[in-house]
Amino acid sequence: MNEVNVGVIGTGWMGSLHAKVLSRLPGAKLVAVADPDVERASLAAREADGCTVYQTYDELLSDDRVQAVSICTRDTLHLAPVRAAAQAGKHVFLEKPIASNVEEAEAIISACHAAGVKLAIGFLLRFDPRFRHIKDLLERGALGEPIHVYARRNSPRNVGPARYGGSLPLALHVTSHDVDAVLWYLHPRQPVSVYAQSVSKLFGSLGIDDSILSIVRFDDGTLAEFESSWALPETSRTQIDARMEVLCTEGVVEIDGAEAGVYVAGRNGVDYPDTYYWPEVGGMIAGDLREELADFVDAVALDRPVSVTGEEGLAALRVVLKMIESARSGRAETIS
């Protein structure tokens, strides 16, 4: 099987991790990166032999070696690079969420369909063995029928707000991960309504919520409750305090994602390092992020369908936007 030549567009926090994965991923070759911040792009390219650094994505997309791109610009800046990539005939891996509004998400899906290129959305929990285990149990009917789901994703106040303050709603950036996982778990049930409340005591001046709590009802009556916050204290023992519980008629399954199995007490305090999402192991990025990019590269190489589609990205976005709307209106909102 030939290697798939990949380019990364946007080499900030996430894009630099993508570049690091793709530099060492069997079956892939990182041939180009693009970012207006050329210094940042050069850092991301340094581990890949023959990787060209571009200042604009148009230049990257004109590079005939590039077969597929990973787009890692901010949530509100997804449409333009996806459209350009699709028009240039490149397959697209797009970081979550698909977009920040429905119109742009639909335009992203149409552009990729029209060009006949693949579109995969970066919901990395799909590739997490713990989250996958729940899906397998539910698919086998091992626990009976779902009754309710609880999903939590909280992180320290010095991380998300410092990076995204003023620009990104918490639910769009954070809750979207769990919404996608729950829609995946409960498929083919459909979400019908949502009631949400949010609070901003710490970050109101930045125009973002501290926390948002939401309850979604599905068409068969199943309930899903979502808790998302980026207001944990800086001293929090974990970077991502995640939890997933699915209570069913014949059992319950729970993921305690607050700690990832490793505890370090060192000179500067205690640390519970990530061992699932994108841990660095022997100089390489492992975990969910590596698995999802490997899956995308495999889909391109074998010309098979991607695992997380644009339509699924849009379905998660519709729920998240209704959460935000409900928190603003103070009413339950219908999801259509």
Residues of this chain that bind ligand NAD (CB under 6 A): 9-15, 34-37, 40, 57, 72-75, 77, 95-96, 122, 124, 163, 173
- DSSP states of 2-34: PPEEEEEE--SHHHHHHHHHHHS-TTEEEEEEE
Pick 5 or 155: Cβ nearer ligand NAD: 155
CB of 11 to ligand NAD, least distance (A): 5
CA distance 7 to 33: 5
3-state secondary structure 244-288: EEEEECCEEEEEECCCCCCCEEECCEEECCCCCCCCEECCEECCH
Pick 209 or 333: Cβ nearer ligand NAD: 209
Element (H, E) at 197: strand 191-199
Pick 56 or 193: Cβ nearer ligand NAD: 56
CB of 303 to ligand NAD, least distance (A): 25
CA distance 120 to 292: 9
Residue facing ligand NAD at closest CB distance: 12
CB of 16 to ligand NAD, least distance (A): 8
Of the candidates 189, 296, 278, 195, the one whose C-alpha atom is nearest the C-alpha of residue 240 is 278
| Beta carbons of 36 and 58 less than 8 angstroms apart | no
Pick 122 or 191: Cβ nearer ligand NAD: 122
Of the candidates 64, 115, 120, 127, the one whose C-alpha atom is nearest the C-alpha of residue 96 is 120
CB of 125 to ligand NAD, least distance (A): 9
Pick 84 or 149: Cβ nearer ligand NAD: 84
Pick 167 or 197: Cβ nearer ligand NAD: 167
CB of 127 to ligand NAD, least distance (A): 10
Pick 73 or 214: Cβ nearer ligand NAD: 73
| Beta carbons of 302 and 132 less than 8 angstroms apart | no
SS percent in the chain: helix, strand, coil, step 5:
40, 30, 35
- Exposed/middle/buried for 159, CB within 10 Å: 0-12, 13-18, 19+? middle
Pick 81 or 146: Cβ nearer ligand NAD: 81
Query: 119-122 and 91-95 as β-strands: parallel, antiparallel, unpaired?
Result: parallel
Structure tokens at 107: 């335009």
CB of 152 to ligand NAD, least distance (A): 15
CB of 176 to ligand NAD, least distance (A): 8
Other Cβ atoms within 10 Å of 32 Cβ, number: 27
CB of 84 to ligand NAD, least distance (A): 9
